[in-house]
Chain A
Amino acid sequence: MERLDTISSLQYFVPEIVLVFTLMAVLVCDLVSKNRAPRERRLLIVIPSLIGLVVALSYSLQGSEAVSAGLFHNMVAFDGFGQMLRVIFIVTSIFVLLFTLHSNELRLVHHGELLVLLLTVTVALIWMANSINLLMIYLALETVSVASYVMVGYLKTDRLSNEASLKYILFGAVSTGTMLFGLSLLYGLTGSLDLFEIRSALSSQEVVASSGPALMVILVLVLAGIGFKMATVPFHFWCPDVYTGAPTPVTAFLSVGPKVAGFAVLIRFFYGGLASPSEDGASWAMVGSVDWQTMLMGISVITMTLGNVGALLQTNMKRLLAYSSIAHAGYIMMGAVVLSGEGIQAMLAYMIIYLFMNLGAFLVVIVVHNDVGSFDIKDYAGIWRRAPLLTIGMGILLFSLMGIPPFAGFLAKWYIFSVVIDAGLGWFAVIGGLNSAIGAFYYLKILKTMFIDGSDTPEPSTPLALQPLYAGLLLVLIVPNIIGLLLWGYLDRVTEFSQKLLDAM
């Protein structure tokens, strides 16, 4: 990987610079529009944010030339993997920004500040996912965390939101502190903050022979920080409470953005610092004396099982989706275990599809809450008679989350399971399959409530209020789930491209 200095790095750093300037501009727009009418003020805030995000997105889509470079003296990587993730984060952010516009929960007070926070998290996620330096990993992760804490506690008069924010801060402070301690030990062991230098230090024979216990402790400590962001067991405790208490658009964002960034850090940290690529770059071999492959495998199995079993008992929609997102983290982790380029491709494909199905499900939750004013699953009874199209849409999203063919969620699961089987870990795929079966149970329970329950009461069925903006967004989020099969070839090419550029690491 070519190491670039500050000036020559800037040309690869345009989307991030655009986002930072946008967030400052939105902050100023928010201040100068203080005395204007609410409607006008909102336009002045939302339009610059959207423009900034779209410009950043268009720049991120352009740079498809096959370069792979370490920007700013090997602080952040620029490669296909990172470009892919950049697009994922910006797209998520655009969706969530649009989610906030008509949500009754937010009541649109201090909308400007919420958007500034959203933009900050977006740019920090990009930094986090591309960090190849311990200092950068910590700083970016901390920026994401601090902004998320405030976003979760955005509803100041809502007790659940306050509680969620406090829990998030306490868990977050402990896990990032733990991770920082681990990183400092790693620096002490290898004498470097650069992941590639750490790899070469760990490859030397004398270090391998003597550093076993230390490396083990380091990995456990570092996994506390990364696991907190991915919401994998045993660092998932915050997840159900925070997802329930946070305003739903924020929950939707947290369930995709930081989770994907957590997996990106996992890949960068373990594949970049603790594994060496083979000659053709298609697979990796662990360096150092700790078998972290088994560690990740264990975490993956426990995470998906606990997520699915936990979801069975939930009566609150947001809590249920929180446990479901924990389970999905377990599935995504399966791709990281196999130590091959195909595994990373499968993870990327899964994360892209997960973005659409999960954001879609949360948007339905927002729409229903706007009308019904509740997150309880039992209040979803009879929605079918009031909004048939919305219910069918939710059905498609839930079938996709379940992994039922022909929806995209099935392809995602099938891809990741087949990669695991190819790696000779058949039993691992079987556990994944069993878990999907458990998962189907609670997703079907929601569908049963929506379609069947309450259909025998002769209640006058007024149609559910659905804002045109949300209807359009739902369509955009649902369609990829249906035509996943047709897009598959394209998705495959995109992820392959991303992986090719990663192995330059």
Chain B
Amino acid sequence: METLGPQIIFWAFAALMLGSAFIVVHGKNLVRSAFSLLATFFSAAVFYVMLGADFLAGVQLLVYVGGILTLLVFGVMLTNRIYNLNLETQTFQVLPGALVSLAVFVILTTVVVRTPWSQSALIEDGPTTPIIGRALMTEYVLPFEIASVLLLVALLGAAMLVRRRTDL
């Protein structure tokens, strides 16, 4: 990133992402947490765009923001008991928790900064959808099919767990 513009965008959205993620975790109100999650997901989509991954950014918006999050917000809104519920969260063992988090943070940051990560060759900007589509149908066809088995079993499990009790 030679110019200043992308730098500013990156840091602005990084701050937004972290801030909103903080509210998601520490918010006492479910609705507020759900809407903060929207900002977190959206910032991730912005990073995808900046990395030239247009398809991923679109999927991120469609699936997470458009699908999962909307469902979550609807669920919260339609269940009025949850709407008024104040989450009773208590924090235990603040000091050990803080120490462990700090240690993990220091270790990971050191590793990320010090390690010479493998760099792939820069590819020119362009639509990535055809590349991804071709890969999914050729080299990655088996993972693609297995993902469908995973989704099938998730669907089946969810249906089984939410079935009404009289059915048992």
Tell me if A210 is interfacial: C-beta within 8 Å of chain B. Answer: yes
Is there contact, CB below 8 Å, between A120 and B116? no
- Which of B111, B116, B161, B168 has the most CB atoms of chain A within a 10 A radius of its CB? B111
Q: Does A189 lie within 8 Å of B146, measured CB to CB?
A: no
Interface residues of B (CB under 8 A from A): 107-108, 110-111, 114-120, 138-143, 146-147, 149-150, 152-154, 156-157, 160-161, 163, 165, 168
Given contacts A117-B156, A139-B150, A143-B149, contact A211 B161 (CB under 8 A): no
Cβ contacts A to B, 22 pairs, < 8 Å: A6-B138, A6-B141, A20-B149, A73-B138, A73-B140, A113-B160, A117-B156, A135-B143, A139-B147, A139-B150, A140-B146, A142-B150, A143-B146, A143-B153, A146-B157, A149-B157, A188-B117, A206-B116, A213-B107, A213-B110, A213-B115, A217-B107
Q: Which residues of B contact A191 (CB under 8 A)?
A: 118-120
The reply to whether the CB of A27 lies closer than 8 angstroms to some CB of chain B is: yes
Q: Are B149 and A217 in contact (CB under 8 A)?
A: no
With A110-B160, A135-B140 in contact, do A189 and B153 touch (Cβ < 8 Å)? Answer: no
Q: Which A9-45 residues have a C-beta within 8 angstroms of B?
A: 20, 27
Contacts of A136 in B (CB 8 A): 142-143, 146
Closest A-B pairs by Cβ, 7 of them? A150-B157, A191-B118, A72-B142, A214-B115, A143-B150, A75-B142, A73-B139
Q: Is the CB of A109 within 8 A of B116?
A: no
Neighbouring A residues of B168 by C-beta, 8 Å: 109, 156-157
Are B153 and A120 in contact, with the CB atoms below 8 A? yes
Tell me whether A156 and B140 are in contact (CB under 8 A): no
Q: Report the Cα distance A156→B114, complex, angstroms.
A: 50
- Which residues of the partner chain B approach A201 to less than 8 Å between Cβ atoms? 118
State whether A210 touches B153 (Cβ < 8 A): no
Q: Which residues of B contact A113 (CB under 8 A)?
A: 156, 160
Closest residue on chain B to residue A192 by CB atoms: B118
Contacts of A72 in B (CB 8 A): 141-142
Inter-chain CA distance A60–B117, complex, in Å, is 41
Nearest CB in chain A: distance from B51 CB, A:
14
Please give 15 more A-B residue pairs, beta carbons under 8 A apart, in addition to A185-B111, A191-B120.
A71-B142, A73-B139, A117-B157, A120-B153, A133-B143, A135-B140, A136-B142, A146-B153, A146-B154, A150-B161, A157-B165, A188-B117, A211-B116, A213-B111, A217-B107
Contacts of B120 in A (CB 8 A): 191
Say yes or no for A116: interface residue by CB 8 A criterion.
yes
Q: How far apart are A312's CB and chain B's nearest CB, in angstroms? A: 29
Interface residues of A in 186-211 (CB under 8 A from B): 188-191, 201, 206-207, 210-211
Q: Choose from A116, A154, A157 the contact partner of B156 (Cβ within 8 Å).
A: A116
The residues in A between 127 and 179 inclusive whose CB is less than 8 angstroms from any CB of B are 127, 133, 135-136, 139-140, 142-143, 146-147, 149-150, 153-154, 156-157
B39 CB, nearest partner CB in chain A, Å:
22
Known A75-B143, A150-B157, A150-B160; contact A124-B149, beta-carbon cutoff 8 A: yes
**Cβ distance A44 to chain B, nearest Cβ, rounded Å:** 18
A123 within 8 A of B: yes
- The listed residue (B117, B139, B161) touching A189 by CB distance below 8 A is B117
Cα distance, A267 to B154, chains bound together (Å): 28
Docked pose: A146 CA to B155 CA in angstroms:
10
Indicate whether A76 reaches chain B with its CB closer than 8 angstroms.
Answer: yes
Instruction: Specify the chain B residue showing the minimal Cβ separation from A217.
Output: B111
A124 to B150: give the CA distance in the assembly, Å: 9
Contacts of B141 in A (CB 8 A): 6, 72
User: B117–A139 contact, CB under 8 A?
Assistant: no
Q: Contact: B156 with A27, CB < 8 Å?
A: yes
* Residues on the B chain within 8 Å of A190, using CB: 118
Residues in B with CB closer than 8 Å to A27 are: 156
- Contact partners of A116 in chain B: CB under 8 A: 153, 156
Contacts of B153 in A (CB 8 A): 116-117, 120, 143, 146-147, 150
Residues of B within 8 A of A140 (CB): 146
**A101-117: which have CB < 8 Å to B?**
109-110, 113, 116-117
Cβ of A123: which chain B residues have Cβ within 8 Å of it? 149
List of A residues within 8 angstroms of B160 by Cβ: 110, 113, 150, 154
0/1 interface trace, chain A 81-123, chain B, CB 8 Å (1 if under): 0000000000000000000000000000110010011001001
A135 to B141, CA, bound (A): 12
Q: How far is the CA of A191 from the CA of B141 in the complex (A)?
A: 20
Q: Find out whether the CB atom of A120 lies under 8 angstroms from the CB atom of B149.
A: yes
In angstroms, how far is the closest chain A Cβ from the Cβ of B167? 8
Which A residues lie within 8 Å of B150 (CB)? 124, 139, 142-143, 146
Interface centre among B108, B110, B115, B118 (most CB of A within 10 A): B115
Q: Are B107 and A188 in contact (CB under 8 A)?
A: no
Q: Please, which residues of chain A bring their CB within 8 A of the CB of B110? A: 213
Contact between chains at B161 and A188 (CB < 8 Å):
no
Q: List chain B residues, Cβ under 8 A from A153.
A: 161
Contact A214 B161 (CB under 8 A): no
Cβ contact within 8 Å between A147 and B157: yes
Contacts A6-B138, A136-B143 known; A156 to B161 CB distance under 8 Å?
A: yes
Contacts of B111 in A (CB 8 A): 185, 213-214, 217
Q: Which B residues touch A139, using CB under 8 A?
A: 143, 146-147, 150
Chain B residue contacts of A71, Cβ below 8 A: 142
Docked complex Cα distance between A389 and B153 (Å): 41
A480 to chain B, nearest CB (A): 32
